[in-house]
Structure 1
């Protein structure tokens, strides 16, 4: 595979952008959300690195632009990335995803990392992001949040991933697909408790939807018919609990250590108390060492 050459050289030197990597956010639904600066950058690019050329072609057609494109995604990134890097000092390479801001749940960060290591010019043209848009729609706390992305598909790995963030004092943001929605809502309820949450879909489109309810209520809502398309799940932080004193924590840890290894015991007590899992792990290790003397 070879990279395509620029098909329409720019006429005026003053119109040329500085060679390097341009990270351009694209609409997540409504094509009118493409910014003027993004349009200008796309228009003057030498090459677009895209997830799916068919998707990006529709966007370019909407704004009357034709530019060379090459696919850059999970399956070919290791092969294509060196070719892109070799051209950054002479050409304007624009990185876009199918929708939203590049690098969010895609392999773009490796290109940025390697471009920075090579000393190339890098800039970003910010714009739509499904995670942030959904958070603003949900009405859930937005002062502190953590983006998780897609949970692992396998049940055991998913359960572990949820346990790892159960005690995080922040709103949690997940991506999910329609067919897996109910299973993931159920796993979240089991791992986090029946927290308030939001299912957000069709963002910026005609049938935009945001349902904010308890996880148990969302499970009932979507059990009969799973929604189509990609979904953003927003889950509220754990309720603030009174700080447990050391004696109480020791008691909880000792009970947990009777049936579980140190890591699991710390995770269980973290979920109950809202305390740091790492601090509880260290405390559990001390208890285990003292009991073995």
Structure 2
């Protein structure tokens, strides 16, 4: 079978007993970075030295079939550098191939930066969506955020510290300056920090420079929270992304409750 195993996202003490036992007994490990896995084995004082096979974004498509066949004969332990494999990490392609081939896949649950950030954010946790890393370019980010601005579920993003301030500025511009959010930094580590507040305040704070592993949690929208000017901005962002004006107005209207006709006319006036 294939065994997906969650590894600590920062604090080594979060390694589960089942993870330690799996590492002690594994004969083959597919790892996002074999060097990281070697350091984990050493840190956990595990003497076992399994065969390590690199499985990352650049080779997963080519290696998935080979690893699935290997898992027919012996257990294959799958690790990412931190957290749960397949969640913004390699492993999805392998699991999909295994499911199609009828190979059993199981999980050793454990740390997840997504769930950890959501839990400490102070924002609603009953419904949420994970959006991974935002686009690198501001224009692309804003177009993507415009499509999410009326999403009622809490949203979770990952971001690099070098782009955090710009991303928060783009979120404030498209979601609204007052939308509540939390920036979770260095979760489970010595310098863990959770900064909560309106997006505009968080963007100003991040402009001074932030370090570490970052997760952003943003409050979902309700129809009454999307002001008409913000809805028009969403329409225009969709149009810039290639959506026809009429279709963009209809899409935003369905999400916000504003009139499609009024959105269309307002956006057309801005364009002209």
Report the TM-score, using the length of structure 2 for normalisation: 0.84
Instruction: Please tell me whether the aligned partners of residues 51 and 73 of structure 1 are also in contact (alpha carbons under 8 angstroms).
Output: yes
Distance 1:78 1:34 in 2: 29
Equivalent-residue separation in structure 1 for 2:196 and 2:25 (angstroms)? 42
User: Which residue does 1:157 correspond to in 2?
Assistant: 140
CA distance, structure 2, for counterparts of residue 116 and residue 46 of structure 1: 22
Shift of 1:267: 4.4
1:73 corresponds in structure 2 to 56
The residue number in structure 2 matching 1:57 is 38
- Secondary structure at 1:22 match in 2: strand
- Tell me the equivalent position of 1:5: none
Cα displacement (A) at 1:140: 1.0
2:194 aligned with 1:213, yes or no? no
Alignment gaps of 5+ in structure 2: 265-272
Q: Is the 8 A contact 1:134 1:232 kept in 2?
A: yes
Contact 1:164-1:267 within 8 A present in 2 as well: no
| Among 248, 256, 274, the residue aligned to 2:256 | 274
Match of 1:133 among 116, 120, 123: 116
Query: Is 1:175 matched with 2:175?
Result: no
Contact in 2 for aligned 1:167/1:275 (Cα 8 Å): no
Q: State the 4+ residue runs in structure 1 displaced beyond 3 angstroms.
A: 267-270
Give per-residue Cα distances to partners, 1:193-252, cap 9 Å, x unaligned: 12111110111111100000111111111112x212321000011245299xxxx9xxx9
**How far apart are the structure 1 equivalents of 2:88 and 2:210?**
21
1:241 is paired with a residue whose SS is: helix
1:39 equivalent in alignment to 2:23: no
Q: Which deviates further from its counterpart, 125-134 or 59-68?
A: 59-68
In structure 2, distance between residues paired with 1:107 and 1:34: 20
Deviation at 1:126, TM superposition (A): 0.6
**Cα distance, 1:66 vs. partner?**
2.3
1:163 and 1:267 in contact (8 A); partners too: no
Aligned-residue offset at 1:280: 6.4
Instruction: Give the superposed CA RMSD.
Output: 2.8
Gapped regions of structure 1 (runs ≥ 5): 1-19, 285-293
Question: 77, 80, 88: which is aligned to 1:94?
Answer: 77
User: Is 1:234 aligned with 2:217?
Assistant: yes
Contact 2:61 2:93 in 1 (8 A): no
Match of 1:48 in 2: 29
**How many angstroms does 1:132 deviate by?**
0.6
Larger Rg over CA atoms:
1
Q: Distance in 1 between matches of 2:79 and 2:17?
A: 15
Aligned to 1:291: none
Contact 2:80 2:90 in 1 (8 A): no
Q: Deviations over 1:150-173 (max 9, x none)?
A: 111123321221112111111110
Partner residue in 2 for 1:27: 8
Residues 35-76 of structure 1 show CA distances to partners (whole Å, capped at 9, x for unaligned) of 111111222222111111111111111221422211111111
CA 1:242–1:201 in 2, change beyond 3 Å: closer, same or farther?
A: closer
Aligned length: 250
Which residue of structure 2 lines up, in the alignment, with residue 14 of structure 1?
A: none
Shift of 1:275: 4.1
